[in-house]
Chains A and B, each alone.
Chain A
């Protein structure tokens, strides 16, 4: 019968109208992201052996790092810059890192007002974060 579909639709939308909502009240209610989510990068400078694999793996040349010779000829990380504005957050770098110094983190509120703020100094960020935690 013509019109049956119309009433079916009305029935569905009324049912949903009276039913519960499925959305999240975002800023008050933060999502619980699974641990694999690639929304930010974090570096643990103590673990890093300055091998540069991460920088080589990156398809977009996001990472630049410098190191200097420390005692008993081991490389010590000096600077570690990420140009996150160009980062694809693909996770190839963290996958390649042999010591898991570079990891993905679930911090997703990355918006900034200025493009310059997208140049992340990873060592500083690490210090900042651990400082806050400790």
Chain B
């Protein structure tokens, strides 16, 4: 008996689909439940940020960077302002550096919480999602009381930090960090430790070390495939070389490890924040920066490790007040290219999980 091939089914997932993050769209081709081909379509959220930058002054572009990876806005701010500072050769005060680190790591925790929540939600783990967002709320409160906004924080300025943190900030931060282990245990209990979730993610969506490297993947996705690469350690920016922390690396190469590594990274971020809280000096938070900033002619590339991977800004200055060219190297734009490569052969449910573990934020993909 020969096996008859059945007709392939094409299914359109997105841009409005319950499982899609943001406005990502993919056309999935099936043979039964098995994916044969994935055709990702991006660009639904394209706002032309790179071009917009050319008509804004250096300082004016900071609020736009908030809208790249809107789950971790401080990282985008930081990458951009550090790039400009590199270009214009500005030294910033110590206290501002520490505040930047605290904010960036808080944003990393917040972003990973969203990740865990939406990974659970993509497998119908509604309750786990609720818990993650409940706890993320406390980080957003911290952002809100300092910078005045929850998502589009706009906290950093060229030459320092926008505002001194209020008095309530430190106790609130401390209590959050104290409660963090308990929260992580809860996620472990309700989601990561759940046999059904394990069954859905273990040994699924294998991304080999070679593939990961060849696709120039960065961030947790790469580290879950056994490559120890973290810009905070490998090319320290700001004052990251002063902190002691580990870079978690997992060797499973599957969806589960890509999920779990975020949980481990949250712990490391908490370590960094604790050290920063201990060491932060008193002092000013803004350097002397000319009102009208005209960086010397030249170009610079500066990259930071944002929660999703390497976020880089390439800036070209022609000596005027506006950048001549800005290019954003966003992590998820590159990580998302993995989807068509690793999905075929897995079931549709697995692909939803794989996509969730790539942690795409469409603001950053489409720019």
| Contact surface of A with B, Cβ cutoff 8 Å | 2-6, 8-9, 11-13, 16, 22, 33-34, 36-38, 57-59, 88-92, 95, 104
A residues near B166, Cβ cutoff 8 Å: 34, 36
Among the 9-residue stretches B30-38, B55-63, B253-261, B345-353, the one with 4 or more Cβ atoms under 8 Å from chain A is B55-63
Flag if B127 contacts A13 (CB, 8 Å).
yes
Contacts of A89 in B (CB 8 A): 149, 152
Per-residue 0/1 for B164-203: is the Cβ within 8 Å of any A Cβ (1 yes, 0 no)? Answer: 0010000000000000000000100111011110100000
B80 to chain A, nearest CB (A): 13
Q: A12-B189, A36-B147 given as contacts; is B63 within 8 A of A90 (CB)?
A: yes
Q: Does B134 count as interface, using CB distance less than 8 angstroms? A: yes
**Once the chains are docked, how many angstroms separate the CA of A59 from the CA of B166?**
27
- The CA of A79 and the CA of B190, in the complex, are separated in Å by 57
**Per-residue interface assignment for chain B, residues 14 to 52, with 1 indicating a CB less than 8 Å from any chain A CB and 0 otherwise:** 000000000000000000000000000000000000000
Residues of A within 8 A of B149 (CB): 37-38, 89, 91
In the complex, are the beta carbons of B56 and A91 less than 8 A apart?
no
Top 8 nearest A-B pairs by Cβ distance? A90-B63, A59-B60, A36-B148, A5-B193, A34-B145, A38-B148, A8-B189, A5-B194
CB distance from B137 to the nearest CB of A (A): 8
Establish whether residues A13 and B190, one from each chain, have CB atoms under 8 Å apart when the complex forms: yes
Pairwise interchain contact B148-A37, C-beta atoms closer than 8 A:
yes
A17 to chain B, nearest CB (A): 9
Q: B314: CB under 8 A from chain A? A: no
22 contacts between A and B (CB under 8 A): A5-B194, A6-B194, A9-B193, A33-B144, A34-B144, A34-B148, A36-B146, A36-B166, A38-B149, A57-B59, A57-B60, A58-B60, A59-B57, A59-B60, A90-B66, A90-B152, A90-B154, A91-B154, A92-B59, A92-B60, A92-B63, A95-B162
A95–B145 Cα distance when bound, in Å, is 16
Q: Is B163 positioned at the interface, with any CB of A under 8 Å from its CB? A: yes
Taking a contact as CB atoms under 8 Å apart, the answer to whether B148 and A9 are in contact is: no
Contact, CB under 8 Å: A3 / B152: no
Q: What 1/0 flags go to B195-218 for Cβ under 8 Å of A? A: 110100000000000000000000
| Set B60, B186, B198: member contacting A5, Cβ < 8 A | B198
Distance between A6 CB and nearest chain B CB, rounded to angstroms: 6
Q: Is the interface of B mostly helix, strand, loop or mixed?
A: helix
Say whether B196 contacts A6, CB under 8 Å.
Answer: yes
Given contacts A2-B195, A92-B59, contact A9 B189 (CB under 8 A): yes
> Considering the chains assembled together, what is the distance between the CA atoms of A36 and B134 in angstroms?
22
The interface residues of chain B lying within 8 Å CB-to-CB of A2 are 195
Most chain B beta carbons < 10 A, residue from A5, A37, A38, A104:
A5
**Residue numbers in B under 8 Å from A12 (CB-CB):** 186, 189-190
Tell me whether A88 and B152 are in contact (CB under 8 A). yes
| Residues from chain B with Cβ under 8 Å of A4 in the complex | 193
* Count, chain B residues at interface, CB 8 A: 32
Complex CA–CA separation, A91 to B147 (angstroms): 9
Q: What residues of chain A lie closer than 8 Å to B191, measured between beta carbons?
A: 9
**How far, in Å, is B270 (CB) from chain A's closest CB?**
21
B245 within 8 A of A: no
In Å, the complex CA distance between A58 and B60 comes to 7
- Any chain A CB within 8 A of the CB of B240? no
Q: Is B64 an interface residue (CB 8 A)?
A: yes
Chain A contacts for B194, CB-based, 8 A:
5-6, 8-9
Which residues does chain B contribute within 8 Å of A9, judged by CB atoms? 189-191, 193-194
Q: A12-B186, A59-B64 are in contact. Are A104 and B148 (CB under 8 A)?
A: yes
> A37-B144, A91-B154 known; A6 and B195 CB under 8 Å?
yes
Complex CA distance for A20 and B362, rounded to whole angstroms = 35
Report whether B148 and A59 are in contact in the complex, using a CB–CB cutoff of 8 Å: no
Contacts of B145 in A (CB 8 A): 34, 36
Residue on B nearest A10 in the bound complex, by CB: B190
Residues of chain A within 8 A (CB-CB) of B63 are: 59, 88, 90, 92
For A8, list chain B residues within 8 Å (CB): 189-190, 193-194
CB distance from A13 to the nearest CB of B (A): 5
Query: What are the residues of chain A within 8 A of B163 when measuring CB–CB?
Result: 36
CB distance from B70 to the nearest CB of A (A): 12
Of chain A, the residue at the smallest CB distance from B191 is A9
Tell me the smallest distance from the CB of B136 to a CB of chain A, in Å: 12
Residue of A with least CB distance to B162: A95
